[in-house]
């Protein structure tokens, strides 16, 4: 159930309209999450800037895989749906995307990153030394570890935002867990 209605771009102030126009140009659509974030130009701008800044140490595919692991862990169907589609556009196979949602990968190095991401979420950032050692042993440099933490943080924000807002899914639906009767 939608609890915060999406703001239509024509209802937004000029600054917010410009940001939504940029999303439209980049994605070919303005997803409901962005329209709902548009109620606060500061929140929308913060998200867009943080997301754009995370293009350095990790590949786009790995960022999508981490996003799926975080969405699966947090039970965010909106983000699971969005990142499954984006992951497929990044060239990730369907079976791998499904595994990623459960924090699993068929690739050993990717598995190390997903296990670390999952540990960050499950332990609220209080990861053990062994978890840092494992991600390093898989070949991740400190710059990549910092970016994994950053991708997790950004996705925790979007998961929580969409769960609170009850954002209507406007992608092919992917469920993180079986629906329960209310």
CB-based contact 87:77 (threshold 8 Å): no
* Structure-model confidence comparison of residues 12 and 178, the more confident one: 12
- pTM across the whole model: 0.95
- Write out the two tokens for 158: 């979007």
**What one-character DSSP code corresponds to residue 83?**
H
pLDDT, mean of residues 63-87: 98
Q: What is the pLDDT of residues 2-28, one digit of tens each?
A: 999 999 989 999 999 999 999 999 999
Q: What is the pLDDT of residues 139-170, one digit of tens each?
A: 999 999 999 999 999 999 999 999 999 999 99
10 Å Cβ neighbour count for 134?
Answer: 17
**Residues across the chain:** 182
CB-based contact 127:119 (threshold 8 Å): yes
């Amino acid at each position: 159930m939608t609890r915060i209605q999406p703001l239509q771009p024509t209802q937004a102030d000029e600054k917010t309209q410009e940001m939504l126009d940029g999303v439209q140009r980049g994605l070919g659509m303005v997803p409901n999450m962005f329209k709902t974030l548009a109620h606060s130009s500061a929140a929308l701008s913060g998200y867009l800037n943080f997301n754009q800044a995370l293009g350095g140490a990790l590949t786009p595919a790995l960022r999508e895989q981490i996003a799926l692991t975080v969405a699966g862990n947090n039970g965010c169907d909106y983000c699971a749906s969005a990142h499954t589609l984006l992951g497929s556009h990044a060239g990730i196979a369907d079976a791998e995307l499904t595994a990623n949602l459960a924090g699993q990968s068929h690739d050993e190095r990717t598995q190390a990153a997903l296990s670390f991401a999952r540990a960050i979420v499950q332990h609220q950032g209080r990861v053990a030394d062994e978890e840092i050692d494992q991600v390093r042993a898989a070949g991740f440099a400190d710059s990549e570890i910092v970016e994994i933490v950053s991708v997790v943080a950004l996705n925790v924000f979007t998961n929580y935002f969409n769960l609170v807002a009850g954002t209507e899914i406007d992608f092919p639906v992917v469920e993180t867990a079986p629906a329960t009767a209310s």
